[in-house]
Amino acid sequence: MYVSNTVRTIKVKCKVNAVNKAVPTIDDSKFNKSDEFDGSKGRYMELEMIEEFSTGLFEKSRLEQHSFKSPLGPVRVSSELKEYLDIVQELLHADEMEPNSHDATYELIREVINSYEIMGDLSVCDYRDLNLVYLMCVGTWKHGFDAKKKTIDASHLPDSEKNRLKNLLDELGERAKRGEYANNKENDANFGMFGTGFYTFENKTDEHSPKDFIQMCIDIKKLSNDKEIFNRCERTLNEGFHGMRAASASMVLHCLKPMTFPIFNSNMGFDNIYVYFNIDIKRKTELCTYIKNVRIVKAFRDKYFTVKNYRIFDITAWEIGKARQHTNIDYLGATDYYPSLNEYNPGITAEEYERILDNENIVKRVWLDTLYYLYIMGGTGSCKQIANKYGNSAAHYNTNAINVARAVYKETQCPLYIRESGKNQYWSVLFYGRAIEDSDEGVFSYKIREPLMEAIKMLEERGVFQKMKELDKEFDKNLILYGPPGTGKTYNSVIYAVAICDGKPVDELTDYAAVMSRYNELKKAGRISFTTFHQSYGYEEFIEGIKPIIDENKQDIGYTIEPGVFKEFCDNAKSITRTSTGIESTVIEENTEPYVFIIDEINRGNISKIFGELITLIESTKRAGMPEEASAILPYSGDEFSVPSNVYILGTMNTADRSIALMDTALRRRFQFVEMMPDSDVLRKIHADKVEDLDVAAMLDKINERIEYLYDREHTIGHAFFTDLKDDATLEKLQSIFEKSVIPLLQEYFYEDYQKIQLVLGDNAKSDDSLKFIIDEKVIAKNIFKGNVEDVIDLPEKKYSINSKAFENINSYKEIL
C-alpha cells in the first residue's frame, strides 16, 4: 500500500478482499484535493492488513514504473491492474458450473463417444471419424445442424448409431430453443461453445491417429481419477500423434471431462486465461505437451480457486477479449481505430490464424514480412513506417498485407467488413485501422487484431520468421553461379529460380522433375525469363532499341521503339492488374512476388555495351522503393526506368572461358558469387558412381586432382557429365561420355599438349599400351621430310593419336586410378 502525504512510499502489505466497493462510511474529503473524486462505486477496495514495513520499498518514481499512479487524490491503479483484480475477484466468488445445464455440447460429445464404444471395432475408423468427434464440439452457429448430420453420415458408425445421434441432435436443438441451457438465448435452437475455421482432417492425419484418439476417449470416459486420466492420455497424445493440435483436442476432451481438461483456445482473440495468469506452460499450441501443461494448470486452479469446471475460466478469458476489443485502445492511447468489435468481427481464433499463416499453400512466406515487422513494432504502425525502418516501399508492404488478408478470407470464408461504398474491405480480416496525418509516417495506421498477434507470437516461437529472414539473406538480388564445365550451373539455375519464386530453401528442392515442372509453370506465367549473353548481344536487345517494321505489302519500312527482354520483364514485374466487376473496373497494384531473370553465360557478353548506364540500377540498394532508389531516363523512349525490388538477376558463368578476375569490374562489384565445383559425392548420392566394379566417383576425383596440378582448379571436369550413369550404368555409356565430353574438353584445356592429357588419364603408367586412351609413337623426322633435318630445332619426337579401342575396355578406366 502506497502511503501519501509526507511518507510517499510503500509501507504496508495488504490483501485485496474485494474491489468495486461502494463509498464507505468515512470522511474522504481530506484526501480529495483534486475535486475529481465523486465517491461513486468502483473507486474503493476492501483491504486486509498483512504486514507493515519499517522502511519504504519504493519511492514514488519507482512506483510509477510499475503502473501505479499517485495523484493528489486517492491512489489509483492502471487499467490493466484493475482488470486483473476484477478477474481474480470474479473467479474467487464464482459458483460452480453444472455442465449439462450450461450447454448441450457436453451431452452430445458423451453420446458420440458412447456410439463408438458400442461400435466396438475401431479398425475402420479414419479422418472422417475424427471429423465427427471434433465437429460435434463446434457450435451449430458455425457448423450447422445439416452439416453435423452429414458429418455423422460420413462416419463409420453403424446406421443405428448414426440415426440415434441425428435424433439426439434435433432433440438438443429443441431443448436449446426452450431455453434449457444457460449458454444460449431462448427461442434460439443453436447451441455450442466453440467456433472454428477448420472442418476436416483429410490429408492432415495418418492411419492410426483417429483410431487411437477415439479409443483414448472411450477409455477415459470410464475413469474418474485425474491422475489416471492424464497417464492414459499421455500414451496417445505424444509426438507420434498426427492431425490435431492442443486447441482442437482440448475442446473434445473438455466436453468429455469438463472438470479435468482446460480449454487451450483463444477466445474472442484473447490469449488463453492461463497465459494471462502467467502460468509457466510450454509450447501451449502443441498436442504433445498438452497433458504436461494441464497438470500445471490443475495445480494452479486447485491452489487458488474453488471452482472446478474449466469452462468458467474460458468464459472469463472471453470477457477479457470482448472488453479489450470493445474499448479498442492502442498502445499510444488512441481510440479511433475501426471497425469496432460491434461493427465487425471476423471470428477467427489465434489457432486458426496460425494454421493458415503456416501453410505455404495458402499464404506465401514472402507475404509475411508486413505482419512480422508490425508485430516487432508492437502491433501498430503504417506501411510507410515499416518501409522507413526496414527498406522497400510502403506499397510493397501494403500489397503483402492485402494478399494475406485475401488468403485468410478465402480459406475461412469469414464475414467481410462492408465499406460505405458497398465494397468489401479485406484488411479488416487482419487489422483495425485509422487514418493519420499525411507525413513521413504515412497516411494510414494498422493495428493487428489480438488473435493474430497471438498467432504471430506462436509462429515466431517455432522459428517460422527466422526461416523467412534466413531465406531473405540466402538470395541476393544479383547472383552468379560460377564454376568449371559440367558442374550443374544451368541445372542449378532452375532450382535457384524456383526456390526464389516460391520462397523455399534450395536444399529443400530435391525432386528435379517436380522442380522442372514448376519452373516451366513460372516461366509460362512470366515470372522467370531466360536469355544467353554472347559477343554480339547489345543494349538494344536487353534494354530497348529502335526496330524496323514493314507494312503489310512489304513496301515501306518504318521504325518503332521496342523494349528489350530485360526492360519488358521489369515492367511486368513492377505491377499487376486486377480486374473487378464492380464500379472500379481495373486496379493496378504493386507486385511483390519474386521474379527471376536468368542470364546464361553472363561473362561472355560485353557488360558495358549491354547494360549501358543502367548498371548502377541493378544494385540492391538502388532498386525501386529502396531508401537509395535510383532511376534513369532511357535514351530512345525518354521513359524513366528503375529496376523493381522484386526482380532477381541470376547469372551463370563458365570459369573455363574466363575467370572472375577477368570479369568486367562494374559487374563483379554488383554481384554475389556462388562457386560450383566438381562434386563426386553427387554421383554417389544418385547412384551414378559405379560401372561394373569401377569407382567412377574416385576416378573423377583423381582426374581433377591431376588437372588442378597441371593447370588450375577452374579447368577441372564437372560431375554433371557422368550423371546419366544413374539410369544407364554401362561401359557403353561411359565410353560415350569420354569420347564426346571428357577427351574433347581435355584437348581444349591442354591444346596440342597430349603428354599432359596422358598424365591426366594415367596413360603414362598403364600396364598395357592397349589400355592407353592417348597413344604415343616415336617419329623420325628424316623418314618424313626430304633432305637434311638434323639442324632443325624442336622437331617433335613423338606423335599422338586417340586409341578408340581403349574406350571399350573397362580396365582402361580402372588404371586411371
Sequence-distant (6+) residues with CB within 8 A of 669 are none
Query: 528 and 435 in one domain?
Result: no
Q: Report which of residues 209 and 27 the model is more confident about.
A: 209
The DSSP symbol for 467 reads H
Confidence of residue 697 (pLDDT cuts 50, 70, 90): very high
Domain count within the chain: 5
Report which of 747, 734, 748 is spatially closest to residue 800, judged by C-alpha positions: 747
In a domain, 720, yes or no: yes
- Domain limit, last residue, from 620, 645, 675: 675
Residue for cell digits 526506368? Answer: 641
For CA atoms 506, 511, 516, 519, give the dihedral sign: negative
- Residues 788, 700, single domain; the answer is yes
State the residue range of the domain holding 343.
Answer: 329-474
* CB-neighbour burial class of residue 777 (10 A; exposed 0-12, middle 13-18, buried 19+): exposed
Q: Is 122 exposed, middle or buried (0-12, 13-18, 19+ CB in 10 A)?
A: middle
- Going by the DSSP 8-state scheme, the letter that residue 426 receives in this structure is S
Per-residue pLDDT for 387 more than 60?
Answer: yes
Please tell me whether residues 336 and 318 are part of one structural domain: no
Q: What cell numbers appear for 159 in the block?
A: 446406421
Contact 746, 757 (CB under 8 A): yes
Q: What is the mean pLDDT of residues 574-595?
A: 53
Q: Are residues 33 and 123 in the same domain?
A: no
Specify the residue for cell string 450450461. 102
Mean of the pLDDT values across residues 107-132? 91
Predicted confidence at residue 328, as pLDDT, reads 42
Residue 386 has pLDDT above 50, yes or no: yes
Distance CA 28, CA 39 (A): 8
Nearest alpha-carbon partner for 260 in 287, 288, 286, 221: 221
Q: What is the mean pLDDT of residues 117-123?
A: 90
User: Are 581 and 599 in the same domain?
Assistant: yes
What one-character-per-residue DSSP string does 73-136 give? SS-EE-HHHHHHHHHHHHHHTPPP--HHHH-THHHHHHHHHHHHHHH---TT--HHHHHHHHHT
Q: For residues 481-491, give the mean pLDDT.
A: 89
**How would you classify the pairing of strands 544-550 and 694-695?**
unpaired
DSSP-derived 3-state class of residue 324: helix
Can you tell me the mean pLDDT for 333-348? 72
Domain assignment present for residue 567? The answer is yes
Split at pLDDT 50, 70, 90, the class of 177 is confident
pLDDT score, position 469? 61
Nearest Cα residue to 809 out of 758, 735, 739, 742: 735
378 and 451 housed in the same domain: yes
Cell of 407: 488468403
Task: Quote the pLDDT of residue 48.
Answer: 75
pLDDT of 566 > 90? The answer is yes
Torsion angle of C-alpha atoms 444, 643, 501, 390, degrees rounded to 10: -40
pLDDT at residue 337, as a whole number? 77
| Residues of the chain above pLDDT 70, percent | 80
Task: Find the CATH number of the domain harbouring 631.
Answer: 3.40.50
**Encoded amino acid at 339, one letter:** P
Between 441 and 375, the more confident residue is 375
**Residue 221 is which amino acid?**
K
**CATH number of the CATH domain containing 377:** 1.10.10
Centroid of chain to Cα 757: 51
**Crossing angle (nearest 10°) for helices 159-177 and 105-119:** 170
pLDDT tens for each residue of 218-247: 999 888 898 999 999 888 888 778 778 888
* pLDDT in the model for residue 319: 67
Closest CA to 502 of 363, 606, 301, 310: 363
Q: What is the mean pLDDT of residues 730-745?
A: 93
pLDDT in tens, 241-280: 877 888 888 889 999 999 999 888 654 444 557 766 777 7
Quick check: is 592 in a domain?
yes
Task: Report the pLDDT averaged over residues 400-406.
Answer: 89
Banded model confidence at residue 737, pLDDT cuts 50, 70, 90: very high
Read off the pLDDT band of 78 (50, 70, 90). low
Half-sphere exposure of 148 (CA within 13 A, CB side): 29
Per-residue cell: 420: 460505405
| Mean pLDDT, residues 198-203 taken together | 74
Residue 682 in domain: no
Per DSSP, helices labelled H in 583-737 are 607-611, 665-670, 680-685, 696-710, 731-737
Cell numbers standing for residue 285: 499450441
Same domain, 358 and 469: yes
750 domain residue, yes or no: yes
pLDDT digits 0-9 by tens, 351-361: 889 999 988 88
Please state, rounded to an integer, the average pLDDT across all residues of the chain: 80
Residue 481 and residue 506: Cα distance in Å, rounded? 13
Whether 53 shows a pLDDT value over 80: the answer reads: no
Cell numbers placing 405: 488478408
pLDDT the model gives residue 461: 80
For residue 421, give the C-alpha cell: 461504398
pLDDT at 35: 42
In a domain, 300, yes or no: yes
Beta-carbon contacts of residue 88 (< 8 Å; ≥ 6 apart): none
Last residue of a domain, one of 292, 324, 356: 324
Q: Which of 324, 345, 361 is the last residue of a domain?
A: 324
pLDDT greater at residue 418 or residue 107: 107
Kindly tell me if the per-residue pLDDT of 746 is higher than 90: yes
Q: Which tens digits make up the pLDDT trace of 277-331?
A: 777 777 777 788 888 888 988 988 888 888 888 888 888 766 665 555 444 433 3
Give yes or no for residue 582 having a pLDDT over 70.
Answer: no
Distances (CA, A) of 593 to 359, 405, 596: 17, 16, 10
Let me know the angle formed at the C-alpha of 772 by 768 and 774, rounded to the nearest 5 degrees. Answer: 145
* Predicted confidence band of residue 185 (pLDDT cuts 50, 70, 90): confident
Regarding whether 666 and 763 lie in a shared domain, the answer is no
Q: Comparing C-alpha atoms, which of 529, 489, 523 is closest to residue 652?
A: 489
The mean per-residue pLDDT over the stretch 477-497 comes to: 90
Indicate if the pLDDT at residue 9 is higher than 90. Answer: no
pLDDT value of position 334: 36
784, 798: one domain: yes
- Is the Cα torsion angle 170, 172, 174, 177 positive or negative in sign? negative
Same domain for 422 and 343? Answer: yes
623 and 547 in one domain? yes
pLDDT band at 82 (very low <50, low <70, confident <90, very high): low
Q: What is the mean pLDDT of residues 35-40?
A: 42
Residue 86 lies in a domain: no
Helix axes 450-461, 369-376, angle to 10 degrees: 100
pLDDT surpasses 90 at 95: no
Terminal-residue alpha carbon distance, the chain = 87
DSSP letter string, 139-201? -TTTS-HHHHHHHHHHSSS-HHHHHHHHHHHHHHHHHHHTT-STTS-TT-----SB--S----
Mean pLDDT of 519-534: 92
Whole-number Å distance between alpha carbons of 246 and 471: 29
561-566-572-575 Cα dihedral, nearest 10 degrees: -100
Same domain (yes/no): 123, 234: yes
Asked whether residue 298 is domain-assigned, the answer is: yes
> Which segment of 3-7, 142-146, 196-200, 751-755 scores lowest on mean pLDDT?
3-7
Q: Are strands 774-778 and 798-802 parallel, antiparallel or unpaired?
A: antiparallel
Q: For residue 491, how many other CB atoms are within 10 A of its CB?
A: 17
pLDDT average, residue stretch 649-663: 76
- Confidence band, pLDDT 50/70/90 cuts, at residue 38: very low
Interior CA angle at 672 toward 667 and 677, to 5°? 110
* Percent of the chain with pLDDT strictly greater than 90: 28
